[in-house]
Every structure is written in C-alpha cells, then in structure tokens.
C-alpha cells in the first residue's frame, strides 16, 4: 500500500513522514486552504525529503502563472482539483481529483477520490469502489481517513494508495508525529 501524507506545512513533518515510511508528501499551493504555503516554503519542504519520496504539489489554481511557479519547484506530480488543461513538462505526473458524478478523466496518471479537499469529510464507499473498478489509472483514496479507519477502508476499497491530511493533525497543517506513525503502521498491517 502506498501512502501520501498531505497538507504538510513544515519541513520537519515531511521528514517524519518519510522516516516512518510514507511514499509521498503533499504540499498545498495557490489555494484558500488553511494548509496552503508559498512556493518558497514548498521548496523547503520538498528539499527536506530524499530522492525516493515523491513530492506532490496540490493546487486549486486555474492561473498559468501559478502553475509555472509550481512546475519550477520540480515536484514529482501536480494534484489538481478541476479539469483545467495545462502543458506538463516531460516526467511530471498529473493526479486529477474527482467526486461523485465526475467522469473518470483520461488525461492523468492517477485519480484521487476526494470530495473533502482536505476537510476530513468521509469518502463515499460506493463511489470509491466504482472508481477503482472503472479506472484505467491508479486510484488514490482520500477523505476522512484516520489511523483508526484506514485499514478497513483499504480492505473495502482496495485503492492503489491512500492520502491523509486532517486525520493526522494537531491543527490545520501541523502534523501529529504519533498519528503519522499510527496511520502508516495501520496501512502496512493490511
């Protein structure tokens, strides 16, 4: 099971996530989210992890200039919350966020089932299962995941990966290192 720790705002949280076994860290940029950071901070966070941990830039922007600044950070992937079409340089992955009723996109490397956008709203089990069955690309499950429920979610949905933000926080953007450990341990035990 692959694991993404998202909404990271501090380099030390990214390091703990990596040290505990997370496969990816996510940083929110150009968003009204409480977890949104400036590009300079995102660069610090991305540089805090080694070359084998994926760095994901999460954004809501529709502006070309914002996307150019994100691309300049050299993330592994951009996670974007709408069908905005933009030029991606070679090697940059695109993760599209979908909710119930959205068609499965075909212009991406993975989809993420998340209606909460980092708000902790529980995912819809039926929609998540249907997405896993119908998608031609890997499906990432997000929304309301915690150390206590992620094992059951993995068993019931069988996603490619899981993504957590609010379920492991002390406050928005500030990660609880014990919860990071517990979340990753719960994922690995399935």
Active site (annotated) includes residue 6:
yes
Active site (annotated) includes residue 187:
no
CA distance 103 to 69: 28
**H or E segment at 56?**
strand 54-59
CA atoms 43, 44, 50, 56: torsion sign: negative
Rounded (10°) angle between helices 11-20 and 39-47: 30
Q: Catalytic residue among 6, 13, 23, 163, which? A: 6
**Which residues, listed in sequence order, are joined to residue 96 by a DSSP beta bridge?**
80, 111
- Please name the residue that has the structure tokens 């991406």: 108
Task: Count the neighbouring beta carbons within 10 Å of the beta carbon of residue 55.
Answer: 23
The DSSP 8-state label assigned to residue 71 in this structure reads: H
Q: Catalytic residue among 13, 23, 114, 163, which? A: 114
Active site members:
6, 114
């Amino acid at each position: 099971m692959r694991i993404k720790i998202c909404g990271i705002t501090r380099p030390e949280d990214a390091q703990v996530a990596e040290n505990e076994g997370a496969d990816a860290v996510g940083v929110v940029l150009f968003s009204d989210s409480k977890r949104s950071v400036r590009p300079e901070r995102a660069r610090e966070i991305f540089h805090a992890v080694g070359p084998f941990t994926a760095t994901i830039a999460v954004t809501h922007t529709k502006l070309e200039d914002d996307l150019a600044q994100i691309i300049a950070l050299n993330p592994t992937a951009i996670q974007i919350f709408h069908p905005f079409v933009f030029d991606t340089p070679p090697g940059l992955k695109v993760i599209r966020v979908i909710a119930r009723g959205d068609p499965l996109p075909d212009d991406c490397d993975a989809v993420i089932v998340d209606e909460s956008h980092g708000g902790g709203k529980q995912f819809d089990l039926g929609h998540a299962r249907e997405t896993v069955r119908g998608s031609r690309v890997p499906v990432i499950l997000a929304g309301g995941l915690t150390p206590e429920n992620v094992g059951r979610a993995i068993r019931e949905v069988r996603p490619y990966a899981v993504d957590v933000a609010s379920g492991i926080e002390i406050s928005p953007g500030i990660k609880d290192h014990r919860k990071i450990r517990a979340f990753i341990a719960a994922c690995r035990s399935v």
